[in-house]
């Protein structure tokens, strides 16, 4: 009864000390006080629960942010390590390719220098030969000029000796010798032209002789085959004729013998004639036998020739086997390169899938960051709401304190105290809609330490969110740059794959060309080098066809060199990409075998 408890709508309890002089009470304060006390306890519990929930949310937010940061840093480190390893691998590949290109360039420069040196030597040799020829011609011309000068001197001496005799004769002699000099000069010019024409004709004749030799060989072979057929036919005819004549003679002899038996006396002379005729026939038979033996010898020689051709055919089959072996070797060299291309394609697909995974993970992280931002915004709004409520509580406290200071200036008067309490109760408890504005001299002094701690926590959260935003932007830029780098590397790898596909197409086209050429040679029954030359020179007869055949042979040799070059390049590339396969050595004896051994 010595204390009065009052409360406002904000749940603030106030204790008033009173002095009761009379024994009567005007009002009963117990139910109101108990009701306001329960309300105050409930409000304080809700405030503590909200503060605990706020701290729990802050701790969860900090833990999640720390977890995201650690995972992101680990993922970023792993990605950087992978990108550095890939970059080192690609740099090593590019370095090996550059070394191979430099080596090829050096080889090309060495070959070019050798060819240039050979060309210079050939040119110097030709120039020296031309100089020698010109020197010889000039020497001949000088000899002729000296001879002419000598003759002129002799003529002058004779002219001087015979000047007194006849000036006309001297003039005629001078004209005669000048004409001779002109004739010699003309002869010299003609000789030069003739020598040049002779050289040209010799070259043309040489080419024609080579062509004629080839044609003559072809003609001789054709004549040999025709003669062989003719001899075989004549042999058959002779055998048939011999058989017919022999049967005819036997029949005649039988008839004559029958006639001789009937008329022995009249046929004695004919018997001698028949004996002589039989002797002649026997001699003819012996000569025919000798001729048959000679034909058998020629047939045996032809059989020997056929056996030689079969041996050459076996050699060509061996050569065909070597060619097939080379083709299989080329295909075997192409297969690991195709496997390498397939592996690079799979690697590109893996990199693309990994990039998609990273993009999905980044999008998931962005979505998670957005959710974290939303939760942080909700927490910030809740904190601001709590700050506003706390400010309202502080303002209510200040208002109540000001009212207390204003109405309880004199506590000794119980009536004024009672009226002041009733006024305060009516103002702060019953009349909720009334709002009075009070001003204080120092508002910041009423701010408690808890509000300052909450402000510090809010500033800390704002700084952490700004740092997280800045890190997120930097990570986005880094991932964008990494993505661009991966795209550039993918473009380079695709370009290299396209180049390798073009090289494979070229090699396959050349293999198909050689297979087609082999099929054509098999269709034409080319089984020896001579027959190959005959088939290549089947249309020979003029210089244009021979020139075309020579160009074909040059093209074949050029293709051989190109195949060797491609084989070396494939072996180098294979050694660069798969070092384990460097132990497979190519046979050096078969590497230099040409496809067409045309001599």
* C-beta separation of 256 from 267 below 8 A: yes
Mean pLDDT of the 80-103 span: 80
pLDDT band at 8; cut points 50, 70, 90: low
pLDDT > 80? residue 457: no
Q: Domain coordinates of the chain in residue numbers?
A: 3-19+39-431+446-591
Question: According to the model, what pLDDT value does residue 319 have?
Answer: 73
Question: According to the model, what pLDDT value does residue 580 have?
Answer: 38
pLDDT band at 77; cut points 50, 70, 90: confident
**Tens digit of each residue's pLDDT (9 = 90 or more) over 240-295:** 776 777 677 677 777 766 666 676 666 567 667 767 777 777 787 777 788 888 88
Mean pLDDT of the 482-494 span: 78
* Apex 206 CA angle, 200 and 211, nearest 5: 130
pLDDT band at 561; cut points 50, 70, 90: confident
CA gap 542, 322 in Å, rounded: 34
Q: What is the dihedral of CA 84, 87, 93, 98, to 10 degrees?
A: -120
Q: Which two tokens stand for residue 73?
A: 């840093």
**Tens digit of each residue's pLDDT (9 = 90 or more) over 132-153:** 877 777 777 777 777 767 776 7
pLDDT > 50? residue 87: yes
**Tens digit of each residue's pLDDT (9 = 90 or more) over 274-286:** 677 777 777 877 7
**Tens digit of each residue's pLDDT (9 = 90 or more) over 282-328:** 787 777 788 888 888 888 888 888 888 888 777 777 777 777 777 78
Residue with more model confidence, 470 or 434: 470
Nearest to 20, CA basis, from 2, 6, 40:
2
Q: What is the dihedral of CA 197, 199, 200, 205, to 10 degrees?
A: 120
pLDDT > 70? residue 412: yes
**Tens digit of each residue's pLDDT (9 = 90 or more) over 563-578:** 777 767 766 666 654 4
pLDDT > 80? residue 209: no
Question: According to the model, what pLDDT value does residue 539 have?
Answer: 41
Question: According to the model, what pLDDT value does residue 444 have?
Answer: 40
Tell me which long-range contacts 16-25 makes (C-beta under 8 A, separation of at least 24): 16/417, 16/421, 18/414, 18/417, 19/414, 20/414, 21/414
Tell me which long-range contacts 56-62 makes (C-beta under 8 A, separation of at least 24): 57/375, 57/379, 58/379, 58/457, 58/461, 61/372, 61/375, 61/376, 61/379, 62/464
Mean pLDDT over each residue of the chain, to the nearest integer: 71
pLDDT band at 348; cut points 50, 70, 90: confident
């Amino acid at each position: 009864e010595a204390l009065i408890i009052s409360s406002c709508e904000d749940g603030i309890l106030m204790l008033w000390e009173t002095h009761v002089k009379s024994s009567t009470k005007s009002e009963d304060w117990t139910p109101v006080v108990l009701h306001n006390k329960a309300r105050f306890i409930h409000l304080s519990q809700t405030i503590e629960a909200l503060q605990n929930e706020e701290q729990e949310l802050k701790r969860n937010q900090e833990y999640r942010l720390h977890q995201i940061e650690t995972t992101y840093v680990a993922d970023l480190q792993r990605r950087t390590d992978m990108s550095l390893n890939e970059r080192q691998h690609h740099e090593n590949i590019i370095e090996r390719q550059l070394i191979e290109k430099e080596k090829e360039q050096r080889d090309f420069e060495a070959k070019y220098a050798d060819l240039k040196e050979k060309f210079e030597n050939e040119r110097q040799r030709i120039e020296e030969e031309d100089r020698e020829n010109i020197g010889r011609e000039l020497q001949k011309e000088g000899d002729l000029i000296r001879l002419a000068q000598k003759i002129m001197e002799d003529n002058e001496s004779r002219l001087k000796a015979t000047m007194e005799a006849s000036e006309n004769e001297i003039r005629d002699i001078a004209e005669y010798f000048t004409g001779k000099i002109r004739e010699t000069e003309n002869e010299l010019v003609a000789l030069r032209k003739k020598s040049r024409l002779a050289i040209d004709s010799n070259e043309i004749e040489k080419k024609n002789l080579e062509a004629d030799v080839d044609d003559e060989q072809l003609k001789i072979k054709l004549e040999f085959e025709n003669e062989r057929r003719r001899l075989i036919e004549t042999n058959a005819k002779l055998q048939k004729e011999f058989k017919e004549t022999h049967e005819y003679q036997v029949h005649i002899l039988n008839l004559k013998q029958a006639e001789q038996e009937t008329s022995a006396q009249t046929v004695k002379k004919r018997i001698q004639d028949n004996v002589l005729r039989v002797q002649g026939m026997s001699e003819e038979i012996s000569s025919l036998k000798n001729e048959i033996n000679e034909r058998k010898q020629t047939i045996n020689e032809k059989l020997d020739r056929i056996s030689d051709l079969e041996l050459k055919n076996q050699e060509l089959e061996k050569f065909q086997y070597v060619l097939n072996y080379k083709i299989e070797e080329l295909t075997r060299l192409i297969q690991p390169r195709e496997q390498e291309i397939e592996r690079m394609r799979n690697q590109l697909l893996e990199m693309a899938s990994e990039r998609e995974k990273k993009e999905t993970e980044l999008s998931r992280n962005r979505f998670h960051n957005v959710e974290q931002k939303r939760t942080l915004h909700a927490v910030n709004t809740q904190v601001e709401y709590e700050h506003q409520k706390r400010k309202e509580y502080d303002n209510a406290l200040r208002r109540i304190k000001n009212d207390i200071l204003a109405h309880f200036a004199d506590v000794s008067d119980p009536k004024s105290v009672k009226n002041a309490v009733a006024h305060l109760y009516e103002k702060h408890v019953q009349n909720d809609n009334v709002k009075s504005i009070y001003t204080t001299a120092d508002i910041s002094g009423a701010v408690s330490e808890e509000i300052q701690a909450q402000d510090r926590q809010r500033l800390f959260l704002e700084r952490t969110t700004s740092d997280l935003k800045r890190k997120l932007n930097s990570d986005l830029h880094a991932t964008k740059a990494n993505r661009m780098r991966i795209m550039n590397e993918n473009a380079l790898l695709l370009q290299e794959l396209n180049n390798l596909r073009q090289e494979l197409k070229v090699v396959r086209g050349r293999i198909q060309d050689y297979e087609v050429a082999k099929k054509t040679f098999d269709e034409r029954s080319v089984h020896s080098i001579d027959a190959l030359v005959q088939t290549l020179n089947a249309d020979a007869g003029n210089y244009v066809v021979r020139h075309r055949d020579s160009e074909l042979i040059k093209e074949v040799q050029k293709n051989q060199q190109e195949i060797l070059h491609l084989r070396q390049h494939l072996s180098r590339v294979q050694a660069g990409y798969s070092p384990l396969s460097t132990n497979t050595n190519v046979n050096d004896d078969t590497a230099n075998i040409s496809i067409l051994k045309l001599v």
